[in-house]
């Protein structure tokens, strides 16, 4: 990871959104879904 310190990366997904008529999942839903998946994996 050290080589990436100080670098800037462009994460523009506007073309993908336009092409596929796609909207990113809200951050809150992403975090809650991830937490649910982790809980389920820990129960196994």
Q: Is residue 4 part of a domain?
A: no
The verdict on residue 37 lying in a domain is yes
Number of domains composing the chain: 1
Helix (H) or strand (E) holding 19: helix 14-20
CA distances from 42 to 28, 29, 35 (A): 21, 20, 11
Averaged over 35-39, what is the pLDDT? 97
Residue 1 above 80 pLDDT? no
pLDDT over 90 at 9, yes or no:
no
Residue 33 within a domain:
yes
What is the extent of the structural domain holding 41?
16-44
- Residue 38's pLDDT band, with cuts at 50, 70 and 90, is very high
Domain for residue 10, yes or no?
no
Consecutive H or E run containing 15 = helix 14-20
14-32 pLDDT, tens digit per residue, is 999 999 999 989 999 999 9
Whether residue 42 is contained in a domain is answered as: yes
């Amino acid at each position: 990871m050290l080589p990436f310190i100080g670098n800037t990366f462009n994460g523009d997904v506007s073309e993908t959104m336009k092409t596929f008529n796609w909207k990113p999942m809200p951050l809150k839903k992403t975090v809650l879904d991830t937490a649910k998946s982790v809980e389920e994996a820990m129960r196994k």
